[in-house]
Structure 1
């Protein structure tokens, strides 16, 4: 992202252009709330994004009205209304393409041991803005009339691409420690520089992140990882010590350098692999892919546990793929990722070294089939991770690895076309096995199925007659 500051005139022009799109929502809401004697303002992220020319479909408003009053005012105007956030002062609704949340002026804070904010209603727009995370999110457009409210200099900070807090960073992070992670996320999303005072407070208060629920930490980490420049945000988490509490496997990769034992900087290697995986996402459809990015981030986390120095000065990390998969599973489960996500990422971490057994293309067709079978529905992501994992500066070596993997993918494509490789099954199904062997359901059928599958992997497809003969021969050896 460009580091050039924005011009105030550019910010104003973008804001006017984006606000025209919002008129069907903002004009009517402004009239309704004003007529009922309440204040209402577009607030936070939508105002910031309007100024950046990147307005999304989700709109946040703040109001002096209570949730019950807000609900009455939007009924009959909104296409749908829901109150799932009522406990936090929020009423949600949908109007055409827009998803709208309207929240009563409020303040919220954690006590020393709490994992959930205690919500208190406020009584003014300025007080509501003051308790927000950063000045670029502490701007509002009062309705009706679209009067900009910017008591903390958010427009200037946005133009200069700078993240500051409305009050002191210490006060802001005491109110909600998750804002420390949010600083890293906005840096990654928007390319903004984090103010030195904010970085200092993040460093001093890093341990306070531990009072925030795992689910909220996970959601913030996901937003960071799916941002345009996740490495920028991750570096800030490591430098401030936040990563020690939310993703300790990452700073652990910065292994101690020993002048007598030269080896690759695993931390920097990991960040490069993540960058390269992001650059290969067009192979996965082009959109940010969370599983692929998590796999790139975690693929070497087993190295600190498996590092061994040899007498010749070299270093080994034997079985770091297996150890890393276990560590990955444990960390992602602690962060409350879904079972499918945990399984997919752990599988990729465990298999990320498999390609290196391919050598210069010596694998048999049987080995290629097993590679595809074991990768399953993660094959395309495994292609991305394996290619991204090449970070050598030796051009000749890098080109050789690229050509070798090209060759493997070509062989996979050829076998897939010939054999329906993505759905490898034995040439006889369970019913056919029972009919040939004259047995009912049981352990013998499963063993026969696995035997035929191994034959299929080793030798490719067989005709039904060949498969029957092979099955009878196997059964004969078992008496």
Structure 2
């Protein structure tokens, strides 16, 4: 197969080939870009390999431009990178590498193109295109990567146990590529995932979570999670999610399998958002159900308080997985804590007070909370699901009405602590917080309007009931 016509669409390939010729280096496009070219998938990351110094090749390419092109050199790794508009070009010399059993750092040596390709993770990534004058554009495919693309198959070039033992992160990448491309994993390759799952322990949490987040960002991440679960990879880094799986029965009363329910909620929410952290909220929303599961002979299985315990578990899980411990974690934590509130509202006659409290507690995240709650309605009874969703429509309409009328989303009490202290001549003290809290509660309950005049009138009433009088001006 010759791909010259595809290479001719971008002048960078001829430029790199010419630079290699000037240096006397055999030069190739390799890896993911070749795969995506065959799959007709867009890609702005291009890996170039030469038999020799990849850094020297990158420097020669950079010099060939009239304008300055940013060049980054990583001598310790023998690689270099050029940024060209929105393209990232990486250059490396052909190499072979292996891993010590106890280490995540490879032993790297110079190698031939064949050795470079065989060390790669999967056959679909172990292809190259020649940039050399004698066979420019010719596809080099020693492991039938094109065949595996046609078969939609993830398979290792070498015996999979060797590939995964050398670099255990490739096990996560196998699942990630399967999820992104909707490919199957070859049977022998999948068996090796299970056999080598414990090797994942030598990989840093940061690298694992990077692959996991890419799985979560696929259109249907449940497929990737099911592969992670079946291969036992998930057990190595996310045991809390594994514990969701399973169904207990007592006296013919059973609960749903919360693992597969969670995956359905995740897929549902992915239909409405590309927000990674809303997707994480879907993953975490029932994470505390195993810890709160109880059997009551009168009502069956209960999970009382799982939303609050799940919110408390969120920082610990985020910290261990090396997820961000900033506002993104707090956002997920908030949605986990509140995810039952809108569902409870559809079951009862909704009061303005309940809606005001929901708006106040969720703030600017109310729309995302409603997306999560809609996704959480899972049932084999389509009429039941439709009935719940119609009730959610009614709740959302009422939320809009209350918000327009009362303006309580993210509201601060109209009377500040400083104003209370100034009017009554009080020092900072517990009584200031008590007055502000009573004013807030009165607004949320609809007893007074959310404006300074009503709030100040109530402030004087509260103060007088506590024996506090204003100072004389």
* TM-score strictly above 0.5: yes
Which deviations, in whole Å up to 9, do the C-alpha atoms of 1:100-144 show, x marking residues without a partner? 111222333332222x32241322111111100000000111214
Alignment of 1:73-222 (within 5 A): 73-77=60-64, 79-83=68-72, 85-114=74-103, 116-144=104-132, 145-222=136-213
Question: Quick one: which of 338, 343, 368 aligns to 2:324?
Answer: 338
CA contact (8 A) 1:361 1:408 kept: no
Q: CA deviation at 1:188?
A: 0.6
CA contact (8 A) 1:18 1:53 kept: no
Q: CA deviation at 1:361?
A: 4.6
Residues in 2 aligned to 1:386 and 1:343: alpha-carbon distance in whole angstroms: 18
Which deviations, in whole Å up to 9, do the C-alpha atoms of 1:444-464 show, x marking residues without a partner? 544443333223322263443
Q: CA deviation at 1:71?
A: 4.5
1:354 is aligned to 341
Cα distance 1:414–1:233, how it changes in 2: closer, same or farther (>3 A)?
same
Which deviations, in whole Å up to 9, do the C-alpha atoms of 1:284-307 show, x marking residues without a partner? xxxx22112111122112111111
Which deviations, in whole Å up to 9, do the C-alpha atoms of 1:393-417 show, x marking residues without a partner? 2233222211221111111112222
CA contact (8 A) 2:342 2:370 kept: no
Compute the RMSD of aligned alpha carbons. Answer: 2.3
Residues in 2 aligned to 1:119 and 1:416: alpha-carbon distance in whole angstroms: 62
1:471 is aligned to 459
Residues in 1 aligned to 2:144 and 2:422: alpha-carbon distance in whole angstroms: 79
Question: Quick one: which of 397, 400, 406 aligns to 2:384?
Answer: 397
Question: Quick one: which of 18, 30, 39 aligns to 1:31?
Answer: 18
CA contact (8 A) 1:177 1:209 kept: yes
1:46 is aligned to 33
CA contact (8 A) 1:261 1:309 kept: no
Structure 2 residue 281 is the aligned partner of structure 1 residue 295: yes
Q: CA deviation at 1:439?
A: 4.2
Residues in 1 aligned to 2:328 and 2:4: alpha-carbon distance in whole angstroms: 41
Residues in 2 aligned to 1:422 and 1:63: alpha-carbon distance in whole angstroms: 59
Q: Greater shift after overlay, 389-398 or 440-449?
A: 440-449
Q: Which has the greater radius of gyration? A: 2
SS of corresponding position for 2:97 = strand
Which deviations, in whole Å up to 9, do the C-alpha atoms of 1:343-395 show, x marking residues without a partner? 22222222211123314452322221211221233222211111111112223
Q: Greater shift after overlay, 230-239 or 438-447?
A: 438-447
Structure 2 residue 354 is the aligned partner of structure 1 residue 367: yes
Residues in 1 aligned to 2:57 and 2:5: alpha-carbon distance in whole angstroms: 28
Question: Quick one: which of 270, 280, 285 aligns to 1:278?
Answer: 270
Cα distance 1:378–1:108, how it changes in 2: closer, same or farther (>3 A)?
farther
CA contact (8 A) 2:176 2:214 kept: yes
Residues in 2 aligned to 1:370 and 1:383: alpha-carbon distance in whole angstroms: 15
Cα distance 1:258–1:17, how it changes in 2: closer, same or farther (>3 A)?
farther
Cα distance 1:179–1:432, how it changes in 2: closer, same or farther (>3 A)?
same
Question: Quick one: which of 452, 456, 459 aligns to 2:439?
Answer: 452
Aligned length: 459
Cα distance 1:34–1:181, how it changes in 2: closer, same or farther (>3 A)?
same
Question: Quick one: which of 192, 215, 237 aligns to 1:246?
Answer: 237
Structure 2 residue 253 is the aligned partner of structure 1 residue 261: yes
Give structure 1 regions of 4+ aligned residues with deviation exceeding 6 angstroms: none
Which deviations, in whole Å up to 9, do the C-alpha atoms of 1:322-350 show, x marking residues without a partner? 22223333222111111133222222222
Question: Quick one: which of 276, 300, 312 aligns to 1:326?
Answer: 312
Cα distance 1:110–1:446, how it changes in 2: closer, same or farther (>3 A)?
farther
1:226 is aligned to 217
1:7 is aligned to none
SS of corresponding position for 1:338 = coil
Residues in 1 aligned to 2:402 and 2:334: alpha-carbon distance in whole angstroms: 23
CA contact (8 A) 1:255 1:265 kept: yes
SS of corresponding position for 2:239 = coil
Q: CA deviation at 1:178?
A: 0.8
Listed as ranges, the gaps of 5+ residues in structure 2 are: 468-473
SS of corresponding position for 2:129 = strand
TM-score, scaled to structure 2? 0.90
SS of corresponding position for 2:142 = coil
